Amino acid sequence: MTSGSDFIQAWELGSEFGIENLKLVRRAMPVPGETQVRLRVLAASLNYRDLVVMRGDHGSAVTLPLIPISDGVGVVDQIGDAVTGLKVGDRVCPLFFRTWLSGDPPVDLYRHSLGGPRDGMLCTSMVVDAEDTVLMPDSISHLAAATLPCAGLTAWSALTDLKPIQPGETVLIQGTGGVALFALKFAKLMRARVIMMSSRDEKLDFVRELGADETINYRLDPDWHRTVKKLTHGKGCDRVLELGGAETLEKSLRAVKTGGLVILIGTVTGSVATVRLPLILTRNITLHSVSVGHKQAFERMVDAIEQHDITPIIDRVFPFDAANEAIEHLQKGRHKGKICVEIESGKPA
């Protein structure tokens, strides 16, 4: 689908939050400023965070009207007079966090996140600051590129930030969603041993086919932290990607080795946790949170994906006109891999 010369199409939450209030509307065609570029959006991909935003549960900083969805890719079709390093026809992914280019995050990090509070990717055209984009190589398809800004970079940061994972280390990955599947691929690239958890055997069969070394059904094995200890000869895993939240954190602390690392990523089971501090203090465990990542890390990840021909797992692709159906599919939670919305074919203008 392409937009006309004066208007774009966008899925918008107008005056009320709630996924049922998402409507397809027309907006004026945006014009880039001096340091900005305009993108024809090619594809977007969905994350659990998008559901939280659309439900109105992401805090007072997110206001309406809003175009949702954080992840996507587009092709530059107009550039500002002061833009250098990009040209018309380049494919780029906008950063999830505007202005976080490297190093420590800015103080106002979440004020500039894409898909809330800033308008997101579920539209036919958008304007972004040129420096807040990452160039996509031809070897990465537009659908694959659309999955990278949040899910891909979060997984990459979880394995490389603070203390990069080393060959032979064991990592426990909770769940089989977008971040988890990226983490599996990246961890195997880094020659780590991977244990994955899910509540569904069919999803565990799926990740074993993708290279997971061990799997645990946490519904059938509620003492999964003990199972992790057994699988690691009583030592515990080197790192946990803690995607569960309140209900899983204490068991993650029990599953990790003395001196290990628990990476806090998700809050699917709740955001208020009670843990026994001696589990951390007496075992020298490091708790480290990951909030997606910065531009420099994104560029390193893209280099690794291109060099090693890593292909993101895509569950299903919906057309732009059926974006609401894509969101409904995400809510059901039965997907294996990323859910994408194809907005344009990806062919050059």
CA-based nearest residue to 192, from 123, 140, 261: 261
Q: Per-residue pLDDT tens for 274-296?
A: 888 999 999 999 999 999 999 99
**pLDDT tier at 200 (50, 70, 90 boundaries)?**
very high
**Among residues 101, 97, 121, which one has the least CA distance to residue 111?**
97
Q: What percent of the chain has pLDDT over 90?
A: 88
Whether pLDDT at 221 is above 60: yes
Instruction: With CA atoms as reference, report the closest residue to 262 among 242, 235, 291, 276.
Output: 242
pLDDT band for position 345 (cuts 50, 70, 90): low
Average pLDDT estimate for 8-33: 96
| Residue spans of beta strands (DSSP E) within the chain | 7-13, 22-28, 36-45, 71-79, 91-94, 125-129, 133-135, 170-174, 193-198, 214-217, 237-242, 256-264, 286-289, 314-319, 338-342
Instruction: Please give the pLDDT value at position 60.
Output: 85
Query: What are the angstrom distances between the C-alpha of 247 and each of 254, 272, 273?
Result: 13, 9, 7
pLDDT tens per residue across span 120-171: 999 999 999 999 999 999 999 999 999 999 999 999 999 999 999 999 999 9
Do 291 and 269 contact (CB within 8 A), yes or no?
A: no
- Name residue 28's beta-bridge partners: 7
Alpha carbons 112 and 303: distance in angstroms, whole number: 25
What the chain holds in terms of domains, given with CATH numbers, is: 7-147+312-342 (3.90.180.10), 162-289 (3.40.50.720)
Q: Assess contact for 148 and 298: CB atoms under 8 A.
A: yes
Intra-chain end-to-end CA distance of the chain, in Å? 12
Identify the band that residue 2 occupies on the pLDDT scale cut at 50, 70 and 90. very low
Query: 61 with 20: CB under 8 angstroms?
Result: no
